[in-house]
Structure 1
Amino acid sequence: MRAFCEKVITPTDASWRYHKYLMPYLPFSWHYHPEYEICLTLNSKGMRHIGDHIEEYGELDLVFVGPNLPHTWQSEANQDGSEQIVYVAQIPVKWLDKLARDHKELQGLLPMLARSLKGIKYSKECAIEAKALFEAMDNAGATQRLFLLLDLLDKMQHDSEQVTLSTPMFAFGKQMEQDNGKLNQVIEFIYQHYTDNLYADQLAELAHMSTNHFHRYFKQRTECTLTEFINRLRIGKACKLLVTSSSPISVISDQCGFNNVSNFNRRFLAFKGCTPRKFRQQLINHNLIN
């Protein structure tokens, strides 16, 4: 599951790209690009993948994706046949970084821009405000769209409920290749094989390190242990299967690479705060209510 690099074309009359997508469903399209991206997804529910973070999403999903952070949303067609809406603002890094640095009024954006390397999810209230701004962009000229973008960034900056999503170094591109080439290779291998049996000495050899050095290096660069990183991916896949399939818990445990159901239940509880069975039941109850 290797991410591809998307080429973003900026319009000739603007410094950044705005687009509104109307789609019957959102296909899995694992990609990255060197631009910042603000993405608002409406009338859609499915699974959101941001770096190593995998989570169910629903209506009014507002996320800020940093440069070279791989991402995709995935959904099925709506039962009523209605179109799913995705608003996107893709912003060149040099332009936005310079704008924020050079203007005192915008320097408060800098910490959020740095955190976007992990991906940031915003509250429903912030997403509602973003919806109004994106809708206004639809009929606005280039100058007015710029003012609306700055307003949107300001509202995102002040959202007290924003949360980061991925581990910090899960990114592609030149910076990753220069500073973390060894880690880049290892993470890609993990992402392709995380449901298999993976061993630290195997990955250390891939990075041309001793096993002890590799453990320290991995923890320093990703802010989590190798086991935590792999289990995060496995639990993310489990959440997806619990949402999209009726397979027994034991089958999902095997599909996600856990050696037994007890271990799966324990790891799931540690990451999600409930057991897999309760997680699925909560979704069923939520769907019945809605």
Structure 2
Amino acid sequence: MEALKTKEARYPIEFTAPAFGAGSFYIQEDLRDEFYSHYHRHKEIQISYILKGRGSVVIGNLIQPFFENEIYILKANDPHVFIKEGNPEDKVHVVHVFVAFDKLAPLFNLQELQPMQDFFSTMNSSKKVIQQHAGKIKHIFASLMKEEGMAKLMQVLKIFDFLLAHEQDMISLYSGLPGSNFNDKVGVRINDVLRYSLENYNREITIDEVAKLIHMTPSAFCKYFKKHTMKTYVTFLNEIRIEKACQLLINRSTENISEVAYQCGFNTVVHFNRVFKHILRSSPSEFIHKHSAGMAHVVN
């Protein structure tokens, strides 16, 4: 994302979607090596279709895998970041629609759009539409950048109509954060911890090394992380590891539970089984039995 308004570059979390041209909606297409790399938030509601790419999405203190042909509806001011995984040479391709109520109030006041206004204004969490349903409007997102004027508005209204029709099919992505309880500097620090954890989850990570990363004592870091994410760092790291373990099991990369445990940073299978069952309420073997290859919804 190219424009960061009113904030210095070192504090990138408070992102404002630039309103190019005279259009009512800001549509952005990302076709590049990586996603926007900072843990950030903005006042606009964001509707994103993943045309190409996979990895992990962090929303507040929730981490999940994301896959192609999923739609994410990100609530206003929910801090988030998409992080690509897989072949570094592969491109990501995502189309975003940003919805700003302050700019679009006259449009949403139309009686015909009242249900959509109600949907957006009562969102208590960000949402996900899985591949099974999202694929039905892939062609609309893929063509958005080619449309102008009334044609573009009509396509966006079709997206709105689709979201209303599939509201009951959406998966809630509660961020775990009751409000915007961090400032820009906090966002940058949490971003550093996030990315470090995702890059190193497969080995032992100590509180000392993560604390040094953001220039804190271990004790201060533990209090800081708990205050701003509502969970301990160890809990958060374990959730990352279990999410990665689920991906390995779902994709049938291996069904050897011991191998999965060690690949995801656990020193013993006993500890892995205990943490897995605590987070998912089932054992790894039960998880393998219940889930077939290709299922996208793994950790909630």
TM-score interval (norm. to shorter): 0.5 to 0.7
Shift of 1:60: 0.3
* Residue 54 of structure 1: how far off its partner (Å): 0.9
Q: CA deviation at 1:6?
A: 1.8
Q: Does 1:239 align with 2:243?
A: yes
Could you tell me which amino acid in structure 1 is paired with residue 40 of structure 2?
H
In structure 1, list runs of 5 or more residues that go unmatched: 208-217
Change (3 A) 1:248 1:26: same
Equivalent position of 1:157 in the other structure: 164
Which structure 1 residue ranges, 4+ long, deviate > 6 Å from structure 2?
227-230, 244-247, 280-284
Q: CA deviation at 1:253?
A: 5.8
2:58 corresponds to which of 46, 49, 66: 49
1:221-269 CA-partner distances (Å, limit 9, x unpaired): x9xxx669974663134313664899762684659xxxx8656534433
What's the CA shift for 1:117? 5.1
Residue of structure 1 equivalent to 2:47: 38
Partner of 1:4: 13
User: Per the alignment, do residues 78 and 229 of structure 1 end up closer, same or farther by CA in structure 2, a change over 3 Å counting?
Assistant: closer
Q: Provide, for residues 187-245 of structure 1, a one-character-per-residue CA deviation record: whole Å limited to 9, x for no partner.
A: x88x959985999xx859x97xxxxxxxxxx9xxx9xxx66997466313431366489
Percent identity for Structure 1 against Structure 2: 17
For 1:277 and 1:56, the matched residues in 2 are separated by: 20
Q: Tell me if structure 2 keeps the 8 A contact 1:120–1:164.
A: yes
- Equivalent residues in 2 for 1:171-250, closer than 5 Å: 171-172=179-180, 196=207, 203=223, 231=235, 234-240=238-244, 243=247, 249=261
Tell me the CA shift for residue 26 of structure 1: 3.8
RMSD: 4.4
Counterpart in 1 of 2:96? Answer: 88
Looking at secondary structure, tell me which structure has more helix per residue: 1
Q: Which of 52, 61, 78 is 1:69 aligned to?
A: 78
Quote how far apart the aligned CAs of 1:40 are.
0.6
Q: TM-score, normalised by structure 2?
A: 0.64
SS at match of 2:83: strand
- Counterpart secondary structure, 1:31: coil
Which has the larger displacement, 162-171 or 41-50?
162-171
Mean Cα displacement is larger for which, 161-170 or 237-246?
Answer: 237-246
What is the CA distance between 1:16 and its match in structure 2? 2.2
2:107 to 89, 99, 103: 99
1:113-153 CA-to-partner distances (Å, cap 9, x unmatched) read 14545210013243223322122322211322122112201
1:133 and 2:145 correspond: no
For 1:143, what is the secondary structure of its paired residue?
A: helix
Counterparts of 2:236 and 2:156, CA distance in 1: 33
Change (3 A) 1:148 1:254: same
SS in 2 for 1:4: coil
C-alpha spacing 1:241/1:23, structure 2 compared with 1 (3 Å): farther
Matched residue, 2:154: 147
TM-score (norm 1): 0.66
Show structure 2 runs of 5+ residues with no match: 1-10, 198-204, 209-217, 296-300
Question: Whose RCO is larger (CA < 8 A, sep 6+)?
Answer: 2
Q: Which residue number corresponds to residue 174 of structure 2?
A: 166
Q: 1:23 aligns with which of 6, 18, 32?
A: 32
Q: Give the SS at the match of 2:113.
A: helix
Preserved contact between residue 48 and residue 96 of structure 2 (Cα < 8 Å)? yes
Distance 1:116 1:229, change over 3 A: farther
Contact 1:51–1:171 (8 Å) recurs in 2: no
Q: In the TM superposition, what is the alpha-carbon distance from 1:63 to its structure 2 partner?
A: 0.4
- Is 1:243–1:283's contact at 8 Å kept on the other side of the alignment? no
